[in-house]
Amino acid sequence: MINFFKKNKWGIVLTILILIIGTSAYYFVNPLNKVKNNMIEENKVLLNPSLFINMKIKVAYTKEGSIKLFVNARNNGLAKLMVFEGDSIPEKETIVIGFDEAKMMKEEKLFEKIGDRIENLFNINVTIGGIINKTDSIIDDIHFISNENYNKLDGEENRVFIKLNSDNISKVFYYQNINEDFKINFSLSEGKIINYKKYDILSKSYYPVIIGSKEAKMMKEEKLFEKPGDTIDDFFGKDIIIVGIIQETNTSLDMMHILPFKAEELN
């Protein structure tokens, strides 16, 4: 055994160095990879339904037709969330970003670290104040901003909203009138967009819903539906028919239900 190590010592040393460098790269080249599963679970527990009460949401549209969510939420709800870096509560000129959105923005070179400045982000100028630790919820894709910046932001209000289901789990909705052109650009992995219309089945009216990839997977696992064309009765007080599933976008769209109802029309 000793002779083996003597003969192969440089190979062993090289292997150890490769392991050290690889581990360092994983943790330091992209520090967002340091997030741990137990921290995700803790944030899930801290994701109190009260956070979504009186939450104001604006959706901003990129030139490519994707969407970004900007939210003004209650500070006492945000204060309970764990942060990966910085603060969880936005100040007058700062922005606090969900984990997945922050990772994407770093990859797009929009910022590198806490304290960096972004000019003219949908008509607001902000300093990066914090990154929320991963929650595996819509929070991961949200930009939290102050009330002052919310009022200045170039975005659309009352288009995206969040409802809590019977288990107090947040569900995200995008209001899309049946006779309205889509403002967002997406493709379907199942179904057809032309099927986004009202259906009368056995003297009952069913309204179309297009579902994001992550939400569709969850709903299928819960046996709520299997494929486009399936109906669900009393879905937040409405009878719906699934007409499409959106291809994965790695954005908030993956968790959305696109449907022809505003927030006040759903239970």
Q: What is the pLDDT of residues 139-156, one digit of tens each?
A: 999 999 999 999 999 999
pLDDT of residue 32: 52
Flag whether pLDDT at 106 surpasses 80. yes
Name the average pLDDT for the chain: 87
| 123 DSSP assignment | T
Flag whether pLDDT at 163 surpasses 80. yes
pLDDT of residue 25: 46
